[in-house]
Amino acid sequence: MTTTSTGRWQFWIDRGGTFTDIVAKRPDGQLIIHKLLSENPERYQDAGVQGIREILEIPVDRPIPSDAIEAIKMGTTVATNALLERKGDRTVLVITK
């Protein structure tokens, strides 16, 4: 298995309307997949941050060590899904001279 170029963790996060999916690459190159509810205010404020904490086994009262992380890349389908499902608020664009 290959190691990451810097020997640090990499995270790819997809935040959806229901679930947040996280793929993490350990420093030794092993991939970890983790899934959380996108909204769970009784347990956490942000699913992406919580997922990183759970994967790295860092308690809520401790800071996430940024020197252990090479990259965090995050995308979201929340707005796209709202548009496709026509569940967003009605909007209008007005342009004048």
Is 96 within the bounds of a domain? no
Is residue 60 included in any domain, yes or no? yes
Q: What is the CATH number of the domain that holds 40?
A: 3.30.420
Is 36 exposed, middle or buried (CB count within 10 Å of its CB: 0-12, 13-18, 19+)?
Answer: buried
- 33 in Cβ contact with 21 (< 8 Å): yes
Within 8 A by CB and 6+ apart from 50, the residues are 36, 43, 44
Distances (CA, A) of 77 to 15, 31, 46, 65, 85: 7, 22, 16, 28, 12
Q: Is residue 76 part of a domain?
A: yes
Q: What is the pTM of this model?
A: 0.78
The predicted structure's pLDDT at residue 3: 61
Question: Is residue 4 situated within a structural domain?
Answer: no
Question: What's residue 65's pLDDT?
Answer: 95
- Please state the domain count of the chain: 1
Per-residue model confidence (pLDDT) at position 13:
97
Does a structural domain hold residue 49? yes
Compute mean pLDDT per 10 residues along the chain, 97 residues long, and list them. Answer: 75 94 97 97 96 97 95 88 80 86
Q: What pLDDT score does 4 carry?
A: 57
Return the sign of the alpha-carbon dihedral for residues 53, 58, 64, 67: negative
Query: Which structural domain range is residue 50 located in?
Result: 9-84
In the prediction, which pLDDT does 2 show? 57
